[in-house]
Amino acid sequence: MKQLFGLAINLILLANLTAVSEENIHQTTCYHRQGNQLVNSQSCTVTMEYDHPENGLNWKIVTRSGEVHHYRNSGTGIELWSHLNRAWVKVQQTDWFPEKEGILCWDDFCADWRELPLD
């Protein structure tokens, strides 16, 4: 009976974790930052997942040319998944691009965030 009760609790917890995780897909425009200019403008798809059980806010940006930028913010700062190192690395600079309303940058990669939800 205890094993059956434990199994039921585990299934309920797993169902709750799955229900909490919510994924949203959006289209926007992405850029690369070169000094004080935005270059290489292209359409991109942003997949956002709120309340990810391990990653907090989790978002992946795929550009039309196939670049993949996978970020997370688990409460300790924004991190980027390094495909080369197969590990999360801290983003050094997160800021709004000067004089371009709604363009959010993580180091040298930027996306138009006006149509994307921030919360």
- Please return the burial class of 112, using the count of CB atoms within 10 Å of its CB with bins 0-12, 13-18 and 19+: buried
Q: 3-class SS at 7?
A: helix
Residues 22-40 pLDDT 10s:
568 999 999 999 999 999 9
Residues 84-98 pLDDT 10s:
999 999 999 999 999
Element of type H or E holding 20 = helix 2-20
pLDDT at 3: 37
0.75 cut: is pTM over it?
Answer: no
Segments of the chain scoring below 50 in pLDDT: 1-21
Query: Residue 107 region, left (φ>0) first, then alpha (ψ -120 to 50), else beta?
Result: left
pLDDT at 23: 64
Closest by CA position to 61, among listed 24, 98, 7, 17: 24
The alpha carbon of residue 44 and the mean position of all alpha carbons in its chain are separated, in whole angstroms, by 13
Euclidean distance between CA atoms 43 and 79, whole angstroms: 22
